[in-house]
Amino acid sequence: MNQIAQRISDIGVVPVIKLNHPERDAAPLAKALCEGGLPVAEVTFRAAGAANAIRLMAETCPEMLVGAGTVLTTAQVDEALAAGAKFIVTPGLDPEIVRYCQEKGVAVFPGCTTATDYHTAYKLGLEVLKFFPAEQSGGLAKIKALSAPFAMFKIMPTGGISLKNLEEYLSCPVICACGGSYMVTADLIDNQKWDEIKDLCQKSVAILKAARNA
C-alpha cells in the first residue's frame, strides 16, 4: 500500500463527514476526532463548502489526515487538492477520475462492489478499494467472496458500519479500514456534541484494538 493508505490502515476507522456549517464546526470537530484517537476524516462533497471544511480541518490539526469524499468530477479533485486534501474517495469506479488522481500523485479509493469493478480496478493498478454501500451490497460476506479471485486488494467498506458490526469487519484480514458516519451524525455535529463524538471515537479505537489483537 502507498503511504496514505498505510496511514489510513493504521488508524483503522475513517469518519465520513458532511458539514453544513464548516466555518463553525470544522475546527472543533477536527479537535474532537483527534482527541478521540481518529486523526482522519473523509469530508464529503455532498455539502456545499466541503473544500473550505477540508482546509479548516487541516489547518486546525496539521497532524490530521484529511481527504475528500463523494468526488464526482476532476474539477472537484482539483478543488479538494487546493484545499489540502491528502486522498480522494469516489462513490463509484470512474477510470477517468482514477487516472487523473494518479497523474496528480494523490491516493484515490473508488467505490467498487462487483467483480467487474474489481477487474477494472486491477487494470488501473489500484491496491485499496472502497466498498460502498457496504451493508446494502452484501456486506462482509460479499467482500470475502470477491477477495477469492481478487486477493491483491485491501478493502475499505463504508455504508451501514456501526459500533455493532465494526469489530466483525475489522477482524477480517481483507479489511484495510472501515468508513463510518455513526460518530459524526448530523445531530452530533449540528448540535455541537463534541464530547459525544470524542467518546464514540474512543469506543471505535477500543473495538479496533480488540479486533486486531484477537
Encode pLDDT of 86-104 as tens digits.
Answer: 999 999 999 999 999 999 9
**What's the length of the chain?**
214
Kindly name the residue from 18, 79, 86, 130 that is annotated as catalytic. 130
- pLDDT (0 to 100) of residue 214: 72
Which residues, 6+ apart, have CB-to-CB distance to 85 below 8 Å?
43, 54, 66, 67, 68, 106
- pLDDT (0 to 100) of residue 146: 98
Active site annotation includes 196 = no
- pLDDT (0 to 100) of residue 96: 98
Kindly report the pTM of this predicted structure: 0.97
- pLDDT (0 to 100) of residue 140: 98
Map residue 106 onto helix, strand or coil: coil
Active site annotation includes 103 = no
| β 128-131/154-157 pair status | parallel
- pLDDT (0 to 100) of residue 1: 86
Encode burial over 94-115: b for 16+ CB neighbours within 10 A, e otherwise: beebbebbeeeebbbbbbbbee
CB 210 within 8 A of CB 163: no
Q: How far apart are CA 56 and CA 47, in angstroms?
A: 15
- Range list of H helices, the chain: 3-11, 22-35, 50-60, 74-83, 95-104, 115-123, 139-147, 166-170, 186-190, 194-213
Domains, in order of start, for the chain: 3-213 (3.20.20.70)
List, for the chain, all residue ranges whose pLDDT scores fall below the cut of 50: none
Q: Which pairs count as long-range contacts for 200-203, CB under 8 Å and 24+ apart, including other chains?
A: 200/36, 200/163, 201/13, 201/15, 201/32, 201/33, 201/35, 201/36, 201/37, 201/38, 202/36, 202/37, 203/163
Encode pLDDT of 35-69 as tens digits.
Answer: 999 999 999 999 999 999 999 999 999 999 999 99
Kindly name the residue from 18, 42, 79, 86 that is annotated as catalytic. 42
Residue 155, all three cell numbers: 478493502
CB 203 within 8 A of CB 182: no
